[in-house]
Amino acid sequence: MLRVEGLNTYYGDSHILRGVSLDLPAGSALGLLGRNGMGKTTLIRSVMGFVRAAAGSVHWDGAPITGERPERIARRGIGYVPEGRGVFPNLSVHENLVMSARAGADGRRDWTLERILATFPRLAERLKHGGQQLSGGEQQMLSIGRALMTNPRLMILDEATEGLAPLIVAEIWRVVAAIRASGISTLVVDRNYREVLAHTDRAVVLEKGLVVMAGASGGLDTAELGRRLGV
């Protein structure tokens, strides 16, 4: 479904991604791990078209999408939950959700407003609340729900549990598992490598913009992984 080959990305003179390659087959889940500042978010932003890569390519369903505008990439069937959530503070929960509602690239509408509210009962209780009135955990639920309303084939979640209370973190991982079980492919970035490995088929570890470990999530050397992540 998604193939990244030899991606090199710069911020000014800083060489962030150095020949990164990865594959994400349809229906699978991939974990993206690494310490802060190692290129994880830059890789996602390069895939989504927010940052232009200097070299390398990104393919979606075999077609090149390198250099396409972010909205065109999203309409191909990629839902993105960014670090920082990106909730519209002056819109209500209901407005944040319905503004993104559309059929998927294949015409399916599996994720309706009713299904989102059933998945996130907290949002159902706060439909008229403004985005700025929600807790951090509720904002994260809203961000995930809004992405699901686009009926994506791939969901990218960048640090979806960062800064949240343990009970909310457990709820987010429950939803990640439900998304995966529904057949949507997932690309998950999170600091908790044990949860990432438990919710993915394969994992890739970035270090200074290079892929330093990659393989089946259940087969990675966790001692080596912990050493590289500093945990």
Asked if the model's pLDDT at residue 53 lies above 90, the reply is yes
Q: Which of 94, 88, 84, 64 is nearest to 76 (CA)?
A: 64
Question: Which pLDDT does position 128 carry in this prediction?
Answer: 95
Q: Is residue 231 part of a domain?
A: no
- Beta bridge partners of residue 23, listed in sequence order: 3
| 153/165 Cα distance (integer angstroms) | 29
Per-residue confidence (pLDDT) for residue 5, from 0 to 100:
97
The verdict on residue 102 lying in a domain is yes
The per-residue pLDDT for range 92-116, each reduced to its tens digit, is 999 999 999 999 988 989 999 999 9
For residue 50, pLDDT over 90 is answered with yes
DSSP 3-state of 62: coil
pLDDT of amino acid 106 = 85
Task: Count the domains in the chain.
Answer: 1
Q: Mean pLDDT, the chain, as a whole number?
A: 94
pLDDT for position 86: 84
| CATH at residue 150 | 3.40.50.300
CB 43 within 8 A of CB 208: no
Backbone angles phi, psi at 193, to 5 degrees: -65, -30
Domain carrying residue 57: 2-225
Tokens of 121: 């009962």
- Check residue 105 and give its pLDDT: 86
Termini Cα distance of the chain: 32
pLDDT digits (tens, 9 = 90+) for 76-91: 999 999 988 789 999 9
Is 230 within the bounds of a domain? no
Q: Residue 108 domain-assigned?
A: yes
Residue 185 lies in a domain: yes
Residue 63 has pLDDT above 90, yes or no: yes
